[in-house]
């Protein structure tokens, strides 16, 4: 999906507009499908690709690849790099800004603004959450162009979504009644209200003239910095102590930024609370595109088409007489009978069952798992890697079984393990194995053995995928027992 320069969507590509994609979210709301190492933005819940890759492709219809920046945390950066790798040459153009740790959106936006301000103060930033669904990219780009016009006149521009229910999870934007449909769709914002209580939300809904805040913002780098200075000067001052040239992540994507300590002292605050509720220079584009922030499993109802009885059924399911229920299954069978307004989500190692009206409490489940030092909130059984993927099939006492899939021509790092040996059985394709000084091929239905403390490398020399079953033996079988000597992906 890389756009060529002649693609109609990139013809009017704006080189003075920068997309800042916020991708630091930790993915508790879509558990068990989302995990800390595979947060919501990496899920393909709606549309044809993951939410993050869809976000990138959508904005790439308007800005060149090198103007796309991803702000995430150092912890998540490597997984996200691997995740966007499938975008090919576009992925290589994208720049990362890695926060040493998550500090909510105001510091993240400030960081990007600080860097952009040094490059070109008049440049315009489009701040985009990485985990929203926008099924109409063309309409989105048309509205975005309007917003950019507003930002050029030194306003902060947001997108308002027409509310359809008294949602308490969103911010609300009140536009000036007199300004309706002026300025070719750019409306003056009277006030911006962060998440209201239910009574207030109902009043907003019945009153009219209120819109949901989409969380997408457009402004000049210089403007957002001056607003930060005005409304939250302590944050602004601390930000200024960071040397702008040190802000972009180094290519290896490893190690702490030199400004880590300053950043850790920043107050965690959202851009909405910090600026949007206070600024007087707000404009709003009433969105013509469909939008969902996919705030919970129940939010799928807004963006996925339901069957006649209101169900959304994905994967291996058998359903008898359920209504208005969502069942997300994988390869394992999920059989449901007579459910009403329920959500069932099945993954290889965990299943969630909850009424839709209580989906928000999935956070509590994740919290319980964290407190219990469990893994079900952390990892998925299948882990994506730039060379392919691995799936943990079973963990036992002193052994672990993985299926490892290598893309054509891919290779793992040259590595060794201090505490485990590995048996590999090739079940499809051909493996090129390096074991200390020897290099040999292992064909389908052949096996090989990598003893403890033995330098080795697994490669796929062919044009078809290679699949091996790995049986690990040892007292300690965690991923961090790895010493890397050479790696195609810059890992240490």
Instruction: Name the residues that contact its own copies, by CB under 8 A.
Output: 32, 318, 320-321, 332-339, 342, 344, 346, 348-355, 357-359, 361-362, 364-365, 368-369, 374, 376, 393-394, 396-399, 401, 403, 421, 423, 425, 427-428, 444-445, 447, 449, 467, 469, 471, 473
Q: For its own copies, which is the closer residue by CB, 126 or 471?
A: 471
Q: Say what angle helices 233-240 and 105-119 make with each other, to 10 degrees.
A: 50
Q: 345, 361 in Cβ contact below 8 A?
A: no
Report the nearest approach of its own copies to the CB of residue 343 (Å): 9
Q: For the chain, what is the radius of gyration of the CA atoms?
A: 24
CB of 314 to its own copies, least distance (A): 14
Nearest-angstrom CA–CA distance, 134 and 466 = 36
- Mapped onto helix, strand or coil, the DSSP state of residue 100 is coil
Least separation in angstroms between residue 76's CB and its own copies is 23
Whichever of 213 and 336 has its CB closer to its own copies, that residue is: 336
Please give the Cα distance from 487 to 152 (Å, whole number).
45
Would you say 74 and 100 are in contact if contact means Cβ atoms under 8 Å apart?
yes
- Judged by beta carbon, residue 269 or residue 393, the one nearer its own copies is 393
Determine the distance from the C-alpha atom of residue 252 to the mean position of all C-alpha atoms in its chain, rounded to a whole number.
Answer: 20
- Per-residue DSSP letter, 273: I
Q: Are 37 and 86 in contact (CB under 8 A)?
A: no
If the CB atoms of residues 117 and 354 are measured against its own copies, the closer one turns out to be 354
Output 135 or 451, the one with its CB closest to its own copies. 451
Residue 173 vs 334, nearer CB to its own copies: 334
Q: Could you tell me the strand order of the sheet in which 399-406 lies?
A: 382-385, 388-396, 399-406, 466-474, 420-428, 447-450
CB 69 within 8 Å of CB 19:
yes
Q: How far is the CB of 30 from its own copies (least distance, A)?
A: 13
Q: How far is the CB of 312 from its own copies (least distance, A)?
A: 15
Nearer to its own copies, 72 or 467 (CB): 467
Contact in structure between 408 and 465 (CB atoms under 8 Å): yes
Minimal distance, residue 12 CB to its own copies, in Å: 46
Q: Toward its own copies, which CB reaches closer, 287 or 352?
A: 352
Q: How far is the CB of 332 from its own copies (least distance, A)?
A: 6
Report the nearest approach of its own copies to the CB of residue 473 (Å): 4
In the block, which residue shows the tokens 């309409």?
139
Residue 331, both tokens: 């390869």
Q: What six digits make up the tokens of 471?
A: 């049986």
């Amino acid at each position: 999906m890389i756009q060529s320069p002649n693609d109609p969507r990139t013809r009017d590509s704006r080189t003075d507009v920068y997309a800042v994609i916020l991708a630091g979210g930790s993915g508790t709301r879509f558990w068990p499908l989302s995990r800390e190492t595979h947060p919501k933005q990496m899920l393909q819940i709606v549309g044809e690709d993951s939410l993050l890759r869809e976000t990138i492709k959508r904005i790439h219809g308007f800005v060149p690849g090198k103007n796309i920046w991803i702000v995430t945390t150092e912890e998540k950066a490597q997984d996200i790099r691997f995740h966007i790798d499938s975008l090919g040459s576009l992925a290589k153009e994208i720049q990362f800004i890695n926060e040493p740790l998550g500090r909510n959106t105001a510091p993240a936006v400030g960081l990007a603004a600080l860097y952009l301000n040094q490059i070109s103060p008049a440049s315009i930033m489009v701040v985009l959450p990485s985990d929203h669904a926008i099924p109409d990219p063309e309409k989105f780009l048309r509205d975005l162009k309007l917003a950019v016009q507003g930002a050029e006149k030194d306003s902060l521009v947001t997108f308002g979504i027409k509310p359809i229910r008294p949602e308490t999870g969103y911010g609300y934007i009140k536009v000036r009644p007199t300004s309706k449909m002026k300025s070719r769709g750019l409306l003056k914002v009277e006030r911006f209200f962060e998440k209201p209580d239910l009574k207030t939300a109902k009043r907003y809904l019945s009153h009219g003239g209120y819109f949901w805040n989409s969380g997408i913002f457009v402004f000049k780098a210089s403007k957002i910095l001056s607003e930060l200075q005005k409304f939250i000067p302590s944050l602004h001052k601390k930000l200024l102590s960071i040397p702008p040239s040190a802000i972009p992540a180094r290519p290896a994507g490893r190690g702490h930024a030199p400004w880590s300590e300053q950043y850790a002292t920043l107050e965690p605050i959202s851009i909405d609370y910090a600026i949007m509720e206070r600024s007087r220079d707000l404009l709003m584009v009433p969105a013509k595109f469909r939008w969902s922030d996919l705030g919970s499993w129940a939010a799928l109802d807004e963006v996925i088409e339901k069957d006649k009885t209101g169900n959304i059924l994905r994967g291996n399911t058998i359903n008898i007489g359920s209504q208005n229920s969502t069942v997300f299954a994988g390869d394992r069978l999920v059989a449901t009978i007579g459910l009403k307004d329920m959500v069932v989500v099945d993954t290889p190692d965990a299943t969630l069952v909850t009424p839709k009206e209580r989906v928000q409490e999935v956070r509590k489940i994740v919290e319980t798992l964290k407190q219990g030092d469990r893994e079900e909130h952390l990892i998925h059984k299948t882990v994506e890697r730039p060379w392919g993927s691995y799936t943990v099939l079973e963990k036992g006492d002193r052994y672990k079984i993985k299926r490892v899939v290598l893309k054509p021509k891919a290779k793992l790092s040259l590595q060794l393990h201090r505490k485990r040996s590995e048996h590999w059985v090739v079940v499809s394709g051909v493996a090129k194995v390096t074991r200390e000084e020897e290099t040999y091929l292992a064909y389908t239905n052949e096996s090989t053995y990598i003893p403890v403390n033995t330098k080795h490398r697994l490669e796929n020399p062919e044009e078809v995928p290679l699949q091996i079953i790995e049986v690990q033996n040892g007292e300690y079988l965690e991923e961090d027992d790895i010493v890397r000597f050479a790696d195609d992906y810059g890992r240490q």
